[in-house]
Amino acid sequence: MSQLTSTATTIPSETPHNRAVDWGYKIAKLFPHVILIAYSVLALFPTVLIVMNSFKDRRDLFRVPYTPPIWFSLENGFEILNLFSTKGYEQVFSRASIFNYFGNSIFVTVVALFLILMLGSMASFALSEYEFKGNRLIGLYMAIGIMIPIRLGTVSLIKLMNALGIYNTQWALIFVHTAAGLPIAVFILTEFMRQVPTELKDAARVDGASEYRILFSFIMPLVRPALATVLVFNMLPIWNDLWFPLTLAPAGNVRTVTLGLSEFAGQYKTDWTALLAALVLAMIPVLVFYTVFSRQFIQGLTRGALK
């Protein structure tokens, strides 16, 4: 991450076709970079600070919080400072069932996203393809959920999950996240599916393709960008959610990473080395994923925002 900032700072601010020595112009060109770099530092500093200090022991993280774990000192000539310690990580691994939490988060997120994409595509296909009484009404009904936060129904949700026998299981989370994700999925996918030319679908029908085949092997590949957008819109809210794991699945063995971290942090709030290590471990999957897919990720969000 810090590498990214340094690349950003070395980017020349002139553009090729404006080489004239015009100081006013140059300063004006520099202005966006000054603010963007300052804000980038503000955005990255906390994360970098926590990562750095998670690799020190308690004494050093309090004594020299701004010093990287491996650094140098010039006080008595050149000297390598080695503050590197993995004590915090060892404590987290011995105390918290962190891999269990990751497994739960992955299961809930993957299944919920799969259901949102599948059921969302199917419903959008029906709404965009078939004429029937109540078509617009169902579309409108599904859209209400975009604005109304489902957490206001938590008391009744708990009752419902108990009645279904899935309270305190991952399925409670999966169904709630699916229901919460469907409105935006149907909204986006219907828009995109309407743009698929009718002639193409009718040609496939003449060739004897079933409606299921038309949707799954024909329409869905065509609206891949829209599916990606739906995925991006729902992925992080599901992975990062705290409210529903806390209220619908608080038991130790079904905890997600977000809830697991919240409980761990509350319990070990005075154990700074373990706490910092736990924070870093919890952010690794998201940061790795985001760094690898940031382009697609932001493109997906931007595309959705245009709708």
Site for another protein in 155-194 (CB under 8 A): 155-157, 159-160, 175-176, 178-180, 182-183, 186, 194
Nearest Cα to Cα of residue 28 among 7, 13, 9: 13
Task: From residue 184, give the alpha-carbon distance in Å to each of 21, 144, 180, 191, 305.
Answer: 51, 10, 8, 11, 11
Stretch touching another protein by CB under 8 A, among 74-82, 96-104, 149-157, 221-229: 149-157
Q: How far is the CB of 282 from another protein (least distance, A)?
A: 6
Q: Within 10 A of 269 (CB to CB), how many other CB atoms are there?
A: 10
| Min separation Cβ 294 and another protein, Å | 4
* Contact range with another protein by CB under 8 A, out of 57-65, 72-80, 81-89, 219-227: 57-65
**Residue 5: CB atoms within 10 Å:** 16
290 belongs to the binding site for another protein (CB under 8 A) = yes
Site residues for another protein, 78-117, by CB under 8 A, read 115
Scanning 41-49, 85-93, 96-104, 219-227 for contacts with another protein by CB under 8 A, the matching segment is 41-49
Could you give the CA distance from residue 68 to residue 74 in angstroms, rounded to a whole number? 15
Minimum distance from residue 77 beta carbon to another protein (Å): 27
Contact 272, 204 (CB under 8 A): no
Number of residues counted as binding another protein (CB under 8 A): 103
DSSP character at residue 151 = G
**Binds another protein (CB under 8 A): choice among 170, 229, 258, 273:** 258
Tell me 77's DSSP state.
Answer: B
Tell the smallest beta-carbon distance from residue 78 to another protein (Å).
Answer: 26
Alpha carbon 111 to its chain's center? 15
The rounded distance, in Å, linking the Cα atoms of 165 and 173 is 13
157/165 Cα distance (integer angstroms): 12
Q: Could you say which of 108, 142, 184, 220 contacts another protein (CB under 8 A)?
A: 142
Residues 205-234 that bind another protein (CB under 8 A): 211, 215
Q: Is there binding between residue 150 and another protein (CB under 8 A)? A: yes
CB of 93: closest distance to another protein in angstroms?
18
- 27 counts as binding another protein under rule CB under 8 A: no
β-pairing verdict for 70-73 and 79-82 = antiparallel
Q: How far is the CB of 138 from another protein (least distance, A)?
A: 7
Is 79 or 217 the residue whose CB approaches another protein more closely?
Answer: 217
- Residue 92's contacts (CB-CB under 8 Å, 6 or more residues apart) are 98, 264, 274, 277, 278, 281
